[in-house]
Structure formats: C-alpha cells, structure tokens
Structure 1
Amino acid sequence: MTDARHGKGPSVAVLVVAAGRGRRMGDSDKTPKQYRQLGQMPVLSHTLKAFLMHADVGSVTAVIHPDDLNLYEEAVAGLPASLVGRLRPPVFGADERQASVLAGLRALKDESPGIVLIHDGVRPFVPAETVDAVLTALESSDAVCAGVPVVDTIKRCGADDVALETVPRDGLWRAATPQGFQFEVILTAHEAAANAVRTDFTDDTAVHEWNGGQTRMVPCPGENIKLTRPDDFERAERRLTEDTYLRLADVRVGNGYDVHALEPGDGVTLGGVFIAHTQRLKGHSDADVVLHALTDAVLGALGDGDIGSHFPPSDERWLGAPSSIFLADAVARVAARGGMVAHLDASIIAEAPKVGPHREAMRAAIAAIAGISLDRVGVKATTNEGLGFAGRREGIAAIATATIRLPIDAEPL
C-alpha cells in the first residue's frame, strides 16, 4: 500500500470498533448507540468521517455487529463520495470488544499496514490534533494511548459506597482512544491473548502490556467523549451545534415575497398545510404563497436566483406540484455549499381563512421540509384591515425571511 504520511513513513490503517450493543444506555430506544442520530447523521458516520478526512490515514475499517449491516450501509451512504474510497469493507465482530478487535486486525493482514489506530465508534469528536499526537509518538514507541490526566480527587469505595481511601492521583490517566500500535506488535499480542483464553482486558493497550509491552500516553481533549448514556447524547448535540455554528461563520439573510389571487374553490394550501375554505389560490403549482416566499428567501440569502429561475411556470413538470419540492431544493442548494439553514420566518397577509388554528401545523411542516428543528421556524399572520387586494379578499400574500450559515471558504456560484 502507498505510504499515507505525507508520502513517507509507515502506512496508517484505522480500525473503528462499532459492534457493541450499548447495554448502558438505559432508555427505551433499542437502536445501537453508534447508529443513533447525532445532528444530521448517525454517530458512526461522524466517527468514520473524522478519520477519512485525515491526510495521514490510508484506510479505515469498521468492525460491526452482523445484525447491523443495513444500519452500517445507511451510515456510510451519507458520507461524502470523495472520502469513501479509503473505506474498506466492514468486518463482522463478536460479542466482546476484544474479539472484535482481533477480527479487525486479522482482516488487515492483507493490507499489512505499518501502524494501526484502534478507536471507539462512539467517540465522534476525535480531533485531528489528537490523531497527529498519537502518530508522532508512534515514531518512537510501539504503543500509544490518547488519554486525559486525572485532576480530580479519587476515592476508592466499598460495596456500600463508603469511601475506604483516597487514591493518590499523581500519574493517573483516563484512557481514551485512538490507541495506536505498530501493527505486528498489537496483532501478536491479541493472538497471544486469544490463545491464552484471556478475554478480560478492557482496552487494547492492556492486551499489549499483558504481553510484555509498554504504552506511552499522550493527552487528548476531554471533549473526546465516549457516548455511553443518554445524557452523553444531550451534551454531544450541544457540542455539535456549537461546533457547527463556529464553523459556519458566514451568516446571510434573504427575504422573499409572493402573492397569489383567490378564486372559488374548496381550500388553500399555506405553509404546506391544506385549510378548507370557500376559495382557493390560483397558480401553476399548488400556489402555496408561504413556501414560495420562503424558497425565494433562501435563494436570496444564497445569491442563487429566484424560484422562477429554477422552477419556471412554463415547465409543465411543475403543474399542480407541491411547493415543498421548491423549498427542499433551495435548502439542498445551501447544503451543497457546506452550509445550513439557521432560521425561517414567514408572515401571511390574509383576511381569511384564519391562520391561528393551523400555525403549529405549518411550523411543523416547514421544519420537516427544511430539515431544521421546530424552534427555528416562525409563522405569523395579519389582516390588511380591509385595505388593498388582500383586504378585499382577492388574494393572499406572504413575506419571508431566511437566515443561512455558510463556511467562510464556501465555493461561490
């Protein structure tokens, strides 16, 4: 295999261990924690992406449970096409982590990497700097473990939770991952442990140490957390949101306006919700003025034309089409440039029908179309006090504002 580290040094393979069943989650969701949604994709997708994006990594292999193949394929399907070339086929693991790692190491023998990094699939926030530190330390060590020095006072307790002693914290570390090894060294250690029927090791450096090796520790941020319990996911969601907003620092605002005439009918569609009424909105599509205005607002913030340039009314494909198609396309254009929709707000100007009873349904529909949370959607309504075309009930109008965030270095159109 071609050397991965800037064209020199040993090749680097990564094993992402993701065959666990998540016994400590303690909630009703039976989805394995590595496949639960975190932001817009499963936890495992975030973890794989972190290593696939690292320039020094030559290949990434996930060790998964045999029952999770469909979940794994869904997680991989969401990764950028430019990254998956370095992703090897998954390896089926076993009930215990130690046996899963050995299965992964054996699968890498044909690749014969110089170095292997072993990482927990449910540590999605591994920084590139930590990977760098592990790889640098491996230039002079057989085994390296990323970890966090212990700074808190440590108590050893008995079965009744009564403290028996205060343990000196000098030299104590909390082990994390990635753990890096010279490939042949850790493969030999795991094979020896399997032959000795030793299955009680809690991490791979422990296997290495049992086999006579030494481990060097390198610090990693405390944010490199392992998602084990429900509150870990709550913290992870907050962290992901914070990271996303810091990364997407180019904040843009666009506005949109739309109006459609009313004619006799059985109801109107506003904000993706059909409301029974004595009139309907006249238009080429479903004439949803709210979604049309929101679409133009998003496109305006993106600097990408307007709804008519992308979905011209002269095109018969859009005859009677649901306007959700238009808004979803505008949102996808933001995502294609590495950005996100941060907020959508719409004001409806109409004498009738009453919008209030349908407001929350509209917010929910818009949030679902745009792929954002409900608290990022505003819907308001007002009458025109009997003035103008809206006041005379000749039509309904909508004004919309969209806030989007893009990376500073987003490719221009």
Structure 2
Amino acid sequence: MVINREHWEEVSVPTVVAKLHTPTTSPTSTELFTAAIKDISESLQVHGLNFKISDTTRIWSLFGASTAAGAPSKPPSTRWPFTRGYNTIGMSAGRTNNTKSVGTIGGYFKFRDPDSNERVIGITCYHVVREGPQGEVDDREYNPPIPPCPCPRTPEIEPTGATNVNHPCLYPALPDMEAAKAIYSTQASLPIPPGLHPAIAAEENAKRQEARRKLHEINSYNPNIGNVLAVSGWRNVALHASSSSSSATAASNAILIDWACIEIRSNTQSTYSANYIGDIARDLQYAQSPAAPYRTSNDHHQLISKTIHLPSQNTILFKKGRTTGITAGTLAPSAPALIRIKKGLLPAARAFVITRDVLSGQHFAGNGDAGAWCLTGGGELVGLFVAGDERDGSGLMIPIEVVMEDIERTLGLSPGS
C-alpha cells in the first residue's frame, strides 16, 4: 500500500509499505534479500517514493483473539454500564464460557422480525465469539467429549455463516468485570492512616465510601446481555457499487466479512437504548483530536447520525474500543491482508486500511478492540474495525454498508430493514 508516512505532516512523503516475511534461514539468503530490497528502494526513490517493510510475523492479527484477555489500558467505567441508562458503544463483550476472547460492542441496530416484534442487536466481530472454553472453534454449542473417546468435534458453523448460534454473552466481558471488582475492592478496604487532619481523614473516608458504592453497583449488575443471534462465518463478499468512492475505486470487488450479532435481552434494554456518542465528542475535543466533531446540546447531535458510503481517502476517522478507548486514524485505500485465525490463516482477504494518528503516534487499536465502529467527526458511521497490525499501529475496517447488507441476507430480512 502507498501512504504518507512520517512523524509530521509537513515532512511526510509518499511511502510504499510492503508486508513481507523476511528470511532468517541463512546468511546467503539474507544477503540476497537485502540486496533485492535495496534495488527496489532505489528504484522507487527515483519516483519520489520511500520504501518500508512491515514483517508478516505481526501482520493483521485479529484483535479479539485469546491475547485480548488482558486488562484495558484505562480502568473499566463504573458510571456505565453498572448503572444502566442507555446502551453505550465501545464496551467490552465476550462469551460467558470463554474468559480469554474479548472484543468490543461497536453499536446497535434495531429491526422488526416477521412477527413485527422490535429486536435490538449489538454488533461485534465473528472471531470475538468464535472460540469455546476448550479452544474449539465454529461450534454452535460446546459438549465435552465423553472419555475415553477424544472424538474431535466437527465444526457446525459453515463459511457462509449461521443463525441462532445461541452462545450466551456477557457485557462487559468477565475479565473486565473482575478487573473493576479488584480495583474498587482494594480502594474500599484501604485503612485510613492515623493522625490525619480531620478534614483530610473525612476526604479519605469519602473516597472509600464511594469505592464501596461502586463495588455494590458492580456486584448488583447483571452482565448477561443475551445470546449470539447470527454470525458471518469466514468469507469474502462483493463490495457493492454504492460504496464506490475515491477510496474504493482501486479496490478489488471482494472484501472480508467478519461480524456477529448479539441479541440484547428485553430486560436489559432501556428507553434510552441508542448509539450515544456525546461523551466521545467531549473526549475528542479535550484531546484536540483531528476527528473532534462539532456538537450542540441537541440530543440528536449526541447520537450516531447515519451510515454513509466510504468517504474519500485521508478522511480522519475515530473509534471507541474496549482496550485503547477513543483513538483517531486516517482512512487509506483497501489492501490485501493475510489474517491470522486459529487453525490457519484467512487468505485473499481485503479490507480498508486505517493508519494511526501521525501527530500523537498513538496506535489506532489493540487487542480487544475488534468490533468497534469507525465514525467520521460528524458522527457518521463508516465501518466495522476487525483487525490491526501491532507493529505500525494501523488497522483494518470493512464498510458498514457491506456488513448491514450481509446481516440482512443472513437473517432473511428485506433490504433496508
């Protein structure tokens, strides 16, 4: 792929970034490889292009895999969802019976089923809910083999996807629930040092009371969000004509698909269930992010306004993920991606690249952020974040219109439902 790459925009230059496997087998092969790279680099420099290599040992790892079980970079929020007021975006989710695989609920869709019942689904990635408690993948339901028969299970989810998968899910994911409990259990139990000034002692006591209140909220909260309603499976789909833009014109007609719908139980919904981003807007403005949107006090402007076609290349997008929180990046053209999945690689996949924020140097995403929604500064929904490169901080996004159309097809809904 070709991107502008340097620490400062004023000195950035067009750079050809190649993701390659560098040989380490022998000095001779390494020498030949180095010479070939030098020739390529010198040839590109004649045309004003730099040349950089990103090793495939870290190429596009899926950001919802078992390595995502670590704590997020910021402490879990106890304002939400432990006191329910609305279904916010960017919170963690995972299967009830697998504490290792953690991803992000990007946001919510509503639709009416054939019986005219309104249903709410949270959107994340298929690979987030793919793995079971014993490492089995693509199963609808885990049933341990009866000894002494090891009997390997046959995957039940086809590459074309599946409905009524019925994996129960937690929101937030169990590791985040436990992290929040540990934080506030420690704060609540800290002894107050003797001999403090009465005013300072009262302040310290108030902190511990607040920690106990938050701990009570967490312990009283029911994280059972609902079951997986449908998944995409592993495949490529056609990039429809309506997504064509200056970013998409050079793209292949095939695009990676990787989504999962978690049905939100009726008893966990609120009258304020919405894709609320008012808090994100404030955080972006505070950080002076290039994606900071202009907001008013009107509630309509505190919600994701609409879905849009892919914007032009170099558009600034932001996301809110479970691990890295709110970050911004730059939309680049689509690129072929070798994606790591359990028991192999997913070859011949394409997705749109989002490069990290050049000014801050912050990576666009990390493990556990898969499923986050990518938005413009105006609150318009563009795509679903699915994977990233741990080395250069870039990520992969698939257009939300492609995701929505595929969900409708899988659930048997009419277009636009």
Higher helix share: 1
Q: With the length of structure 1 as denominator, give the TM-score of the two structures.
A: 0.21
Q: With the length of structure 2 as denominator, give the TM-score of the two structures.
A: 0.21
Higher RCO (C-alpha under 8 Å, 6+ residues apart) = 2
Q: Which has the larger radius of gyration?
A: 1
